[in-house]
Structure 1
Amino acid sequence: MKRVNWMARDEHQCIPNYKVLQQAFSKVGIQRHIEVDKLVRGKYQDNLEMLQWIKNYFERTFQGTSYDAAARRFTDNLPDWARPSEASNQPLRRPLSNVNALASKVPKHGRPGGGDGYQRSSQAPNFALLQEEHERIREEVIDLKITVDGLETERDFYFQKLRDIEIMCQAWEENPDMNMTVNKFVEEVQNILYAKDDEIAASGDAEADASQ
Structure 2
Amino acid sequence: MVVNVFISAVTTDTLSRKEAVAWVNNLLKSHFTKVEEMASGAAYCQLTHLLFNAINLKKVKFNPRSEPDVLNNWKVLTTTWKDLGIDKPVDVEKMKKAKFQDNMEFLQWFYKFYNANLTTEPEEYDAVGARFGEDLPALKGSTGSRPVAAPARPVAAAPPKPRPAAPAVAAPAVKASVPPTVRNGTRPAPATSAGTRRADPSASEELLKQEIEKHKAASDEWETTAKEMETEREYYYSILQRVESLANEAEESGSSTVDVAALKTILYAGNEDTEQVDEIENEHLVESLQANLDDTETF
TM-score, normalised via structure 1 length: 0.40
Structure of greater relative contact order (alpha carbons < 8 Å, 6+ residues apart): 2
User: If you compute each CA radius of gyration, which structure gives the higher value, 1 or 2?
Assistant: 2
Report the structure, 1 or 2, having the larger helix content. Answer: 1
**TM-score, L = length of structure 2:** 0.29
